[in-house]
Homo-oligomer: A and B are copies of this chain.
Amino acid sequence: MSGPPDEFAWIARGLAPLAEGAAEAFGLIDDAAAIPSRPGFDLIVSKDAIVEGVHFLPTDPPDLIARKLLRVNLSDLAAKGADPYGYFLAIAWPANYGWPEREAFARGLAEDQARFGLKLFGGDTVATPGPLTASLTIFGWTPAERMVRRAGARPGDVILATGTIGDGYLGLLSAKGLSVGNSYIQAEWLADRYRLPRPRLGLRQALRDHAHAALDVSDGLIADADKLARASGVGLEIDLDRMPLSEPAAAWLARAADRTAALVELATGGDDYEIVCAVSPEDAPALLAAATEAGIALAPIGSAHAGAGVRVSVAGREVKVARAGYVHT
């Protein structure tokens, strides 16, 4: 088949297989999906949009764009302690996305929806004279009133971060072909971390059980810590020396002329999709044990106190951060 695919052919061939077995979706031939009530549970809903040239590179392969779109939304579910359930997708295709690109996009969705256990429930597909633009509305479940919120951190809480921070930022530079001074293999590893976030779903049950508050880090560790502080009405201290770093990020940091500035760069770069959470000192060991059990690194990086704002320190000294993380506007 040549020429740009029409909407109906694309839905039937590309998308309908992603809804197979989901009674909610009516085979994608209806105007809407119907989600039956699940007494005792709340439906957790989040919606993120991505634009070519803003959230991903024009050179990124379509299957990885699709997987990133799904994963940035799954990262929200993970931070909220929710079990993945389903999603709606709206895509605006530029004319240069023909069948091969669209099928690669669907293949990426198929791979990750199988991996993370959710199905396509519906959406819309349209044409655009502009860049590829897509939004995904994701659905998950928590037991009633058990969503882990941003508001809830308390003075005295320990602040922890999953995985490693700064790889998404260095990965974006690498993916753009800008050398960060690392070996080719490390640069590829970093670019992969930028293109494919790791939603920390393995921690969701433990977050529900123990965390007072949580959110995922998309705009940068400091910017997102600030959101948690504001929502909870507390102040946070973040010690950048305790920020967990990957081997490539640590190697990059070791070469930096100004270590403090480099740490701030990693803490404000964004695209981490790690989870920052607040837990009482009493519950921290149980959360750390659950993370170990799930194979997810979890490191204390600071604490909450009565007050406001985020105080950032390096080597015991306060560091002024002029611009708290990259802000997607």
Chain A positions within 8 Å of B, measured between CB atoms, are 4-8, 26, 29-51, 53-55, 76-77, 79-80, 82, 88-92, 121-131, 133, 135, 137, 140, 142, 144-145, 147, 149-151, 215-216, 227, 230-231, 327-329
Closest chain B CB from A207 CB (angstroms):
12
Given A32-B80, A43-B43: A329 in contact with B37 (beta carbons within 8 A): no
Contacts of A80 in B (CB 8 A): 30-32
Given A30-B231, A142-B34, A151-B29: A92 in contact with B44 (beta carbons within 8 A): no
Q: Are A49 and B124 interface neighbours, CB within 8 A? A: yes
Q: In the complex, what distance in Å separates the CA atom of A44 from the CA atom of B53?
A: 34
Q: In the complex, what distance in Å separates the CA atom of A44 from the CA atom of B76?
A: 22
Closest chain B CB from A206 CB (angstroms):
18
Partner of A130 from B46, B128, B145, B227 at Cβ < 8 Å: B128
Given A32-B82, A90-B47: A128 in contact with B122 (beta carbons within 8 A): no
Q: In the complex, what distance in Å separates the CA atom of A157 from the CA atom of B151?
A: 54
Q: In the complex, what distance in Å separates the CA atom of A46 from the CA atom of B34?
A: 9
Contacts of A328 in B (CB 8 A): 7, 126-127
Contacts of A46 in B (CB 8 A): 31-33, 122
Closest chain B CB from A247 CB (angstroms):
29
Given A54-B127, A92-B51, A133-B130: A30 in contact with B329 (beta carbons within 8 A): no
- 7 inter-chain pairs at a CB distance below 8 angstroms, sorted by A residue, are A31-B76, A33-B46, A37-B37, A47-B124, A49-B124, A51-B128, A128-B130
Further pairs besides A7-B328, A124-B135: 13, Cβ < 8 Å:
A26-B150, A29-B150, A30-B149, A31-B79, A32-B45, A34-B43, A48-B124, A50-B126, A51-B133, A53-B129, A55-B126, A128-B130, A137-B137
Given A7-B327, A30-B231: A133 in contact with B37 (beta carbons within 8 A): no
Given A51-B128, A90-B135: A45 in contact with B7 (beta carbons within 8 A): no
Q: Are B76 and A32 interface neighbours, CB within 8 A? A: yes
Q: In the complex, what distance in Å separates the CA atom of A49 from the CA atom of B88?
A: 11
